[in-house]
Amino acid sequence: MTNSNLYAALRAAFPDDLDRVAVETDGGLTYTWRDLERASAMMANLLTSLALPPESRIAVQVEKSVEAMVLYLATLRAGHVFLPLNTAYQAAEIEYFIGNAEPAVVVCTPANFGWVSKLAFKAGTQNVFTLADDVSGTLLDRAAAHSDVQTPVERGVDDLAAILYTSGTTGRSKGAMLTHGNLLSNAQVLKTYWGWRTPEQGGDVLIHALPVFHVHGLFVAIHAALINGSSMLWLNRFDPKAVIAWLPRATVFMGVPTLYTRMLAEPSLNRQVCQHMRLFISGSAPLLLETFRTWQQRTGHTILERYGMSETIMLTSNPCLPDARHVDAQGMPQSERRGGTVGFPLPGVGLRVADEHGVPVEAGDIGGIQVKGPNVFRGYWRMPEKTAEEFTSDGWFKTGDVGLVDVQGYVTIVGRSKDLIISGGYNVYPAEIEGYINEMTGVAESAVIGVPHPDFGEVGVALVIAKSGASLDGAAILTSLKARLANFKIPKACEVVSELPRNTMGKVQKNLLRDTYRHTFKS
């Protein structure tokens, strides 16, 4: 039997010369391919020494660092399940994730050790380590005592590799279970589709500026670099000036639209600094046509937009060659990268658009996007009913995105059937925020809507009705939310109103509210 452990496939792509630099950080650190191999072996051996049952969850809430990536690789090697958590999550959010996932190991920042370890021990976790973003912490201290040689544990394609929590439109967050096969198949498809150049072909160099606790930074970016033996220029925090300064040494950049708008605000972004670049990739949120065009004019590059989600990794992508003047190896003209679209379904990914009865619609007609393929997740962690609800009877996953496929096959996303705000590439579920607001003293009801925002693309605005006789203050509501929820979930404005528009069924008409408040942050 061949070992389908994802790490084995990534490792097989490392360059022959392991002493070459694999990662260089903006903090001045360099890591060779040998460093990645040895450090992840030591951490994997530490995990193995804990004698955990197979597929134990390793929950990780740490600041971005190369060591955090190494911990991910070590978890794969040891055959356990990586469970990354956004550093913005606060105690109530973390308590839920730990209680739901029952991790065998929790890794947190030294600063959070006090409260995180208390929650973890209460939930039955026996091992809590710390990891800081300055190459320190008990995880590294303990790993240092272990051998730097390790053979990746045998895993099959259907074995779990990671759980990513994604909030539900109703109820609590759901853990999307991704397998070694899901992750590897997607990485292999993107390797070819995006034309990654092997080290022998001159190699690609990726600027890694995204967080490493979501699909984009953790899977798409890291897998792409490792499975191509490509080196990374690594920033622990996105900084537009630092990215621009690195462009002349790089060939590929991946970002959410906010990163592109922030870079466009820098006068130092011009054609010359982008000359060496091969590919600018955008995803996780809609890229405005205005950004797409302005980027083209300023840099001479056409951003490649793609579409994916936690449950499926990458689904569609615009073509690798930027315009129709290019021909393929058979001399056939290529399709161009088309702004406002997310391109074509990736090879192996089935994508169809269905009406409200689940019947596939004609090309050009709008409906719900459904997908199928080796990239589609195994289900939601311990939620078989939720899993069943999200799949059609013939096995298609309902993405909750609304869109169309045109006659040429381009996919366009026009909206979402799920009540979701995507802010700077992070998902915010209004139902969760409304739940917190509704519990506050004096609140009768609330509605949270997404409105356009020049920096984050979309942000939340809360509209709150007071109970009769109560007096409420929007700013105080936001302050109270800040103490309890991750900062990116906090609405950017809160208004106390006397009523909310409703339809005949009594349901709040959020579309009308979105219309009323659409100019709150944009003229």
Q: Which of residues 292-331 bind ligand MLC (CB under 6 A)?
A: 308-309
Query: Does residue 216 belong to the site contacting ligand MLC (CB under 6 A)?
Result: yes
Q: What span, in angstroms and rounded, lies between the C-alpha atoms of 215 and 198?
A: 23
> Considering beta carbons, is residue 155 or 337 the nearer one to ligand AMP?
337
Q: What span, in angstroms and rounded, lies between the C-alpha atoms of 422 and 325?
A: 34
Which part of the chain contacts ligand AMP (CB under 6 A), choosing from 38-46, 111-119, 323-331, 396-404? Answer: 396-404
Q: How many residues bind ligand AMP (CB under 6 A)?
A: 19
Facing residues of 314 across strands? 308
Select from 489, 2, 448, 31 the least CA-distant residue to 234: 31
Instruction: Take residue 517 and report the two structure tokens written for it.
Output: 């408040």
Contacts of 435 (CB under 8 A, 6+ apart): none
Instruction: Choose from ligand MLC, ligand AMP, none: what does 258 bind? Cβ within 5-8 Å by kind.
Output: ligand MLC
Q: What span, in angstroms and rounded, lies between the C-alpha atoms of 209 and 282?
A: 12
Query: Does residue 319 belong to the site contacting ligand AMP (CB under 6 A)?
Result: no
Smallest distance from ligand AMP to CB 400, Å? 6
> Considering beta carbons, is residue 483 or 505 the nearer one to ligand MLC?
483
Select from 273, 225, 227 the least CA-distant residue to 252: 225
Instruction: Take residue 232 and report the two structure tokens written for it.
Output: 């990374």
What is the per-residue binding string for ligand MLC in 240-279, x denoting contact by CB under 6 A? ----------------x-x---------------------
Q: What span, in angstroms and rounded, lies between the C-alpha atoms of 66 and 260?
A: 23
Q: Which of residues 425-454 bind ligand AMP (CB under 6 A)?
A: 427
Instruction: Choose from ligand AMP, ligand MLC, none: what does 423 bind? Cβ within 5-8 Å by kind.
Output: ligand MLC
Strand pairing report for 30-32 and 21-25? antiparallel
381 and 175 Cβ atoms separated by less than 8 Å: yes
Q: What span, in angstroms and rounded, lies between the C-alpha atoms of 423 and 460?
A: 8
Smallest distance from ligand AMP to CB 339, Å? 11
List 217, 229, 308, 424, residue binding ligand AMP (CB under 6 A): 308
Question: What is the dihedral angle through the alpha carbons of 351, 353, 356, 357, rounded to the nearest 10 degrees?
Answer: -70
Which part of the chain contacts ligand MLC (CB under 6 A), choosing from 77-85, 393-401, 418-426, 463-471? Answer: 418-426
What is the per-residue binding string for ligand MLC in 103-122, x denoting contact by CB under 6 A? --------------------
Smallest distance from ligand AMP to CB 412, Å? 9
Query: Does residue 162 belong to the site contacting ligand AMP (CB under 6 A)?
Result: no
What is the per-residue binding string for ligand AMP in 210-239, x denoting contact by CB under 6 A? -----x------------------------
Alpha helices in 228-275 (DSSP H): 240-246, 257-264
Q: Is 521 exposed, middle or buried (0-12, 13-18, 19+ CB in 10 A)?
A: middle
Strand pairing report for 105-108 and 397-405? unpaired
CA–CA distance from 81 to each of 104, 216, 317 (Å)? Answer: 10, 18, 28
Which part of the chain contacts ligand MLC (CB under 6 A), choosing from 15-23, 181-189, 206-214, 270-278? Answer: 206-214
> Considering beta carbons, is residue 69 or 176 the nearer one to ligand AMP?
176
Packing angle between helix 474-482 and helix 430-438, nearest 10 degrees?
110
Helix (H, G, I), strand (E, B) or coil at 175: strand
Query: Does residue 463 belong to the site contacting ligand AMP (CB under 6 A)?
Result: no
Q: Which residues bind to ligand MLC, rule: CB under 6 A? A: 210-211, 214-217, 238, 256, 258, 283-284, 308-309, 423-426, 456, 459, 487-488
Which residues in this chain contact ligand AMP in the complex, by CB under 6 A?
A: 166, 215, 283-286, 305, 307-310, 342, 399-401, 413, 416, 422, 427
